Structure 1
Amino acid sequence: MQTMQRKIHPKANRRQPGQQERAPLFIVVDLFCGAGGDATGFNNAGGLALVIACVNHDAVAIRSHRRNHPYAAHYSEDARTFDIRKLKTHVDKYRLIYPHAKLILWISADCTHYSDAAGGKPRDPDSRSMPEILHKVYDPLTKTYQPGDSYLQILQPDYVQMENVEEFMAWGPLDKKGRPIRRRNGEDWLRWRKEICALGYRDQWRKLCAADYGAHTHRTRLFGIFARPGLPIVFPQATHSEMPTNGGLFGDLLPWKPVREILNLSDTGPSIFSRKKPLCENTLRRMIVGVKKTVALNEDQFFSLYYSGGGTYASLSRPSPVVPTRDRISLVTLVRPQHTHTIYNPSWGGHFVGVGRPCPVVMARQDKAPLHLISMTASRPLLTYPTDSPATAELKELMRRYGITDIKWRLLSIPELLAIQGFPRDYQLTGGRTRQTKHIGNAVVPVVITRWTQALAAAVLQLAA
């Protein structure tokens, strides 16, 4: 496997304009680093944290990560079989440079085989057991974990932080068909926590919604932290809320950010009726649901969703739903009849003036020759054909009822998906659209990591004061 290490760069942390240079309070090792959501969050914390090493088995993800975070050491390796001694040598160099910094080991293990989004499909026990790498040694022949010196024993981090789906708390044994044994849900999660705490840690867990911290998505995930004795454990305070407050119990909370703020709504895409390949019945029925809800809100654009776990519609006035790892969100635009307005002045033989110009003189003869406002509507007829599918016919009838002349549809662009997830729009991803979408959907929302790092830093500084 390829390993790429960069020269030590003690000033690699990003600082805000005008901020004085300071040593980071945290140095970070990122396991299962993906394309860089974690690193972006840490590095956006105003110089409080410095990501020094990243490990991931996906070479394409590592290339993306390296483009955006060039000063970290990048290891294109399977974290389960990686030679941790190489990582320790690198960490020890930074510990000499920043002797007072706390070492954070961040882990974003695969969530697929915990998530309810997998439906009734069998789970992969090998993927479900990945968190065991923290304190055990993986045997690739038997695909089992055995006691031994692993990341916690060798690196001795001060903190271990992680993010996963909420269903991670239900991690437990599988039956012979690879499906969770419901009555034993949570057994492995509780055992795993107990074994790590036995190595000298204590832990806490919270569910955090990204929209509560200013993200344009309401992605909710489980966040956990293990800390050495004497070190504080805190979680970030929300800055936004679905129900904003002014001077409430939890202080001032801003309203959730609507996703429409970061979308290119002028790009509506083509008409659904001019496609070479018609949309399938299920997509059209999801669109019917969206049209009914959208016209009730007096809006003209909405998200049409295709999630295996359900969901068909989302308003643009709220944060985006979770960005999945495949194209499952599309922008739908309802086209209303185009109205043109003109003023008709019957006086002096009659003449017309567009509403974009000053009005004609309002004469005293308004009882005899009143000014008229004339509205003209231009739209193409909406016809139903015998070849239309049942869903198409139902959609057209709905459109006629609400005066909709056309519906336009497109997938969200990569820059839009990046912005929804909290990355800069110019964040550089490698690979094709399928791979880029996967990496965005798998990424931790950076702003949550930023706020958490800032809260943890404040607690550490207060303890040291």
Structure 2
Amino acid sequence: MKREIIVDNFAGGGGASTGIELGLNRHVDIAINHDQAAIDMHKMNHPETRHYCESVWDVDPVEACNGHPVGLAWFSPDCKHFSKAKGATPVNKNIRGLAWVAVRWAASVPVRMFMLENVEEFLTWGPVVDGKPCKLGKGKTFNSFIKALTTGIKPNEELTKQSGLKTNHSYWREAVVALGIEHNPKLKLQLSKGLGYQVEWKMLKACDFGVPTSRTRLFLIARKDGDPIVWPEPTHGEGLQPYKTAADIIDWNLPVKSIFGRKKPLAENSMKRIAKGLEKFAFTDAPFLAPDPTKISFITEYANASHQRNMAIDEPLRTICAQVKGGHFALVTSHIVKFRGDNIGHGTNEPLHTISAGGFHFGEVRAFLIEYYGTGSAQEIDKPLHTITTRDRFGLVMVKGTAYQIIDIGLRMLEPYELFKGMGFPADYKISHDSQGKKLTKANQVARCGNAVPPPFAEALARSNYKPLSIEIAA
């Protein structure tokens, strides 16, 4: 018997492959993805793997495995046509049906176990009518998918009257067409009898496994070797290790640029987001203070003086301190601003919210303050943060019962390597250049990150469930 292999379908930039490798101490044998840039990043970090830059439907499992049984197959089919963040864009039923490729592999070659990752809305998978998911069929295609893996789809039983259609919808027919087996009686027979897998699924949160993001995903495990499906226990959370937070991924040595006086001013809505975020997350009884303010950025004064004064944050604020009676170092608060939807962001002492493929929607806001003694140019107003969108550059805020004067507010977008760290990738993961040595754009880097499986997810699931066959150990 040839040794078992591990296959990563929809491999992307390598999140699942990295986790599997960390969990099992062995590399993934085959990685498949249609995107050249994704495959290139995968090759950079997993050179031992055999790569297919093709659609998953164009790769023949029999040819790819070359007689080797599959011990573990991983599937992360495109989730955007299930995600609640998709909006009203018409649904592409071909992309929505990509999960059927897992059935194709399991029916074509011996697959002892496979795992599938997707958004929680994957459970609502149903047929599409006029470019929209059919409400009447909500979850019914998912049910037939599970039946195909377990006890089988019975052709005459899988019929449902659908809204907007004059005829019944056949879930059997939907599966046959999706799998492309209309003229393959052998595979159709397997589909009707079922593939005999034990199947379970569960929602898991990345932050529970040491990932500094709150990303929540559905995981499905199917196995047919008689061993039980094991769900890994969380390692972080209440009573366990403390959650990792956005503060853990921020490179505090990077400077932030003042939101004032920019050549291209920030949009008014962006300024309002920053103001609301500061009110909610920074200027509270328990603000998040930067770990070491003496190493962070600089202070820029915006006043009516003829010269703007910039000061290192690790030096006494001599020129300003003359106005406030005494030398004091700055207090630096930080929070994450989210430029998407109506979400203003979150505290830096919380896990980062879900990163998407277009991940340039997270910014870090730093507010620089000095203690206020009742003199100087600060204005005592009820809601000082509203002055952000006016000409005034100072305001008073209360932090733990002490009055502080706002000296400046800085903003920068999170860098790709910070976002990769936020997804749980190793610090040495190669993301900046392609295999030809060409520097990748930030957009290209972030696209690989936002589409990735956080490696600690795959690591925990693989380690809990996959054990090499005894014949392999003996060999």
Using structure 1 for the length normalisation, give the TM-score.
Answer: 0.72
Q: What corresponds to 1:357 in structure 2?
A: none
Q: What corresponds to 1:298 in structure 2?
A: 287
SS in 1 for 2:57: coil
Alignment match of 2:352 (pick from 320, 344, 348): 320
Q: What corresponds to 1:82 in structure 2?
A: 59
Shift of the alpha carbon at 1:268?
3.6
Unmatched runs of 5 consecutive residues or more in structure 1: 1-23, 96-101, 136-149, 246-252, 340-374, 383-389
Identify which range, 423-432 or 201-210, moves more after superposition.
423-432
Shift of the alpha carbon at 1:157?
0.5
Q: What corresponds to 2:389 in structure 1?
A: 393
State whether residues 381 and 405 of structure 1, in contact with CA within 8 Å, keep that contact through their aligned partners in structure 2: no
Q: 1:391 to 1:77 in 2, by over 3 A?
A: farther
Shift of the alpha carbon at 1:311?
1.9
Q: Which amino acid aligns with 1:70?
A: P
Matches within 5 A, 1:26-425: 27-47=5-25, 49-89=26-66, 92=68, 103-135=71-103, 150-176=104-130, 178-197=131-150, 198-241=194-237, 244-245=238-239, 253-294=240-281, 295-296=283-284, 297-299=286-288, 300-308=333-341, 310-326=342-358, 327-337=360-370, 392-393=388-389, 399-401=395-397, 403-425=405-427
Shift of the alpha carbon at 1:338?
7.2
State whether residues 232 and 459 of structure 1, in contact with CA within 8 Å, keep that contact through their aligned partners in structure 2: no
Matches within 5 A, 1:450-465: 450-457=459-466
State whether residues 284 and 395 of structure 1, in contact with CA within 8 Å, keep that contact through their aligned partners in structure 2: no
Shift of the alpha carbon at 1:129?
0.8
Q: 1:395 to 1:125 in 2, by over 3 A?
A: farther
State whether residues 288 and 395 of structure 1, in contact with CA within 8 Å, keep that contact through their aligned partners in structure 2: no
Shift of the alpha carbon at 1:82?
2.0
State whether residues 73 and 114 of structure 2, in contact with CA within 8 Å, keep that contact through their aligned partners in structure 1: yes
SS in 1 for 2:336: strand
Q: What corresponds to 2:453 in structure 1?
A: 444
**In structure 2, distance between residues paired with 1:112 and 1:80:** 19
Deviations 1:364-416 (A, max 9, x none): xxxxxxxxxxx899x9879xxxxxxx884379689445532211000111221
Deviations 1:395-443 (A, max 9, x none): 9689445532211000111221111111122311233111110110110
Q: 1:171 to 1:391 in 2, by over 3 A?
A: farther
State whether residues 214 and 256 of structure 1, in contact with CA within 8 Å, keep that contact through their aligned partners in structure 2: yes
Shift of the alpha carbon at 1:274?
2.5
Shift of the alpha carbon at 1:447?
0.7
Q: Percent identity?
A: 29
Q: 1:40 to 1:29 in 2, by over 3 A?
A: same
Q: 1:314 to 1:394 in 2, by over 3 A?
A: farther
Q: 1:200 to 1:422 in 2, by over 3 A?
A: same
SS in 1 for 2:265: coil
SS in 2 for 1:121: coil
Q: Which amino acid aligns with 2:77?
A: A
State whether residues 27 and 50 of structure 1, in contact with CA within 8 Å, keep that contact through their aligned partners in structure 2: no
State whether residues 271 and 389 of structure 2, in contact with CA within 8 Å, keep that contact through their aligned partners in structure 1: no
**In structure 2, distance between residues paired with 1:124 and 1:397:** 50
* Alignment size in residue pairs: 363
State whether residues 277 and 345 of structure 2, in contact with CA within 8 Å, keep that contact through their aligned partners in structure 1: yes
**In structure 1, distance between residues paired with 2:8 and 2:443:** 24
State whether residues 417 and 440 of structure 1, in contact with CA within 8 Å, keep that contact through their aligned partners in structure 2: yes
Shift of the alpha carbon at 1:459?
11
State whether residues 206 and 215 of structure 2, in contact with CA within 8 Å, keep that contact through their aligned partners in structure 1: yes
SS in 2 for 1:405: strand
